Amino acid sequence: MVFRNIRERFGIDDLDYKESLTRSQPLPDDSSGKSGAKFYLSSDRLFIIKTLTSEEVERMHSFLKHYHPYIVERHGKTLLPQYLGMYRLTVDNAEHYIVITRNVFSNHLSTHRKFDLKGSTVDREASEKELEKDLPTYKDNDFVKQKLKVYIGDEAKQKLMETLTADVEFLTKLHLMDYSLLLGIHEVERGEQESQREKENEQENACQESDESETGSGLDNRNYTTYNTPPDSPNAIAQFVREHSLQYEGGIIPELDIYAIPSCETAPVKEIYFVAIIDVLTHYGVKKQAAKAAKTVKYGSNVDGISTCDPEQYAKRFMEFMSKAIE
């Protein structure tokens, strides 16, 4: 009942939601976190499916008691994860728990760069292993070294900071910390070039297919399905979005890209930013206090940058970093 009400608050239709998750096989995603959780994308890329440990399921239950009234009070206006459902799957007598959230990134605009920002500076750069990925997740020190800013202008910054402040106060009250700001950057010009190339490739493939069918080039069409996609399949949806997205300002479709903020007129290059808070279930308990003590011994007590600190201190540092990063 709670999840159904939450989905309603976030404007998600139950039938569409079920369709997205069950129509086709979810796609594996390689962004596994430290917890070892596995991530999948729904076939239309609108939702993220994440595996949970039984301990996380317990945390989720206690979090929901506070999260649901907060979402109602805020009329769904939040940058916190949009938790839409939690399920237990039993396969060969083994139990698996999964949680569904809305995808922060767009399902039709590519993400060209991705950052996980905590406002902390100790051990906060992408590892060599991470940098080998097609889309590595950069961290705070990488963001600072690359001299990056989120250029959205005063009015959008004020609105964003108001929402961030409310969300962070809510997390602090619940004694939660170690959350991150997930930032995705879509470079508009690069995206348009990619889209153009994709169109040209599709046209080329279509020409080749019609040539082959005319010459009967030995391909048995019963074995090679090169027919047009049925109108209601995920590929057809993607094609529809591609064809129509440029009619929207900067390619943003408001109903789909709810986390998108376009760069302001004065930005050095035209970009679209996707911004949300993630990983919000870490409680500042005995384990985290011990981790803070260990890091303090290693780096000294005056190091302000260690990511493990009490919720009030964590929130203050997080907000200060975000305020500087956004212009």
How far apart CA 111 and CA 133 sit, in angstroms, is 13
Phi, psi of 150 (to 5 degrees): -100, 105
Residue 281 located in a structural domain:
no
Please give, one letter per residue, the 3-state secondary structure of 167-197.
Answer: HHHHHHHCCECCCEEEEEEEEHHHHHHHHHH
Residue 264 located in a structural domain:
no
What pLDDT does residue 127 have?
Answer: 87
Torsion of CA 82, 85, 89, 95, to 10 degrees: 70
How far apart CA 205 and CA 264 sit, in angstroms, is 38
The residues pairing with 278 across neighbouring beta strands, listed in sequence order, are: 180
Domain boundary among 103, 138, 163: 103
How far apart CA 310 and CA 291 sit, in angstroms, is 11
Residue 237 located in a structural domain:
yes
The answer to whether 275 and 119 have CB atoms below 8 angstroms apart is no
Model-wide pTM > 0.85: no
The residues pairing with 114 across neighbouring beta strands, listed in sequence order, are: 137, 184
What pLDDT does residue 221 have?
Answer: 42
Residue 247 located in a structural domain:
yes
Residue 225 located in a structural domain:
yes
Residue 244 located in a structural domain:
yes
Which residue segment(s) compose the domain that 85 sits in?
Answer: 1-103
| Total domains, the chain | 2
What pLDDT does residue 252 have?
Answer: 87
How far apart CA 185 and CA 260 sit, in angstroms, is 9
Q: Give pLDDT tens digits along the chain (327 positions).
A: 999 999 999 999 999 999 999 999 999 987 666 667 899 999 999 999 999 998 899 999 999 999 999 999 999 999 999 999 999 999 999 999 999 999 999 998 999 999 999 988 887 888 888 888 888 999 999 999 999 999 999 999 999 999 999 999 999 999 999 899 999 999 988 888 888 888 888 777 777 776 666 655 444 443 433 334 444 555 555 555 555 555 565 688 888 899 999 999 899 999 999 999 998 988 876 454 445 444 554 545 554 555 567 899 999 999 999 999 999
The answer to whether 60 and 99 have CB atoms below 8 angstroms apart is yes
Which CA distances in Å does 95 have to 22, 25, 51, 52, 92?
A: 19, 19, 11, 11, 8
Give every CB contact of residue 72 below 8 A, 6+ residues apart in sequence: 5, 9
CATH number, residue 19: 3.30.800.10
What pLDDT does residue 230 have?
Answer: 44
Claim to verify: residue 2 and residue 98 sit in the same structural domain: yes
Domain boundary among 199, 223, 258: 258
Tell me whether residue 309 is exposed, middle or buried, using C-beta atoms within 10 angstroms of its C-beta: 0 to 12, 13 to 18, 19 or more.
Answer: buried
Domain boundary among 58, 80, 103: 103
CB atoms closer than 10 angstroms to residue 289:
13
For residue 135, the 8-state DSSP code is: S
Q: Which helix (H) or strand (E) holds 278?
A: strand 271-278
Residues with a catalytic annotation lie at 50, 178
Residue 10 located in a structural domain:
yes
What pLDDT does residue 47 have?
Answer: 96
Q: In the structure encoding, which two tokens stand for residue 237, read together?
A: 């949806």
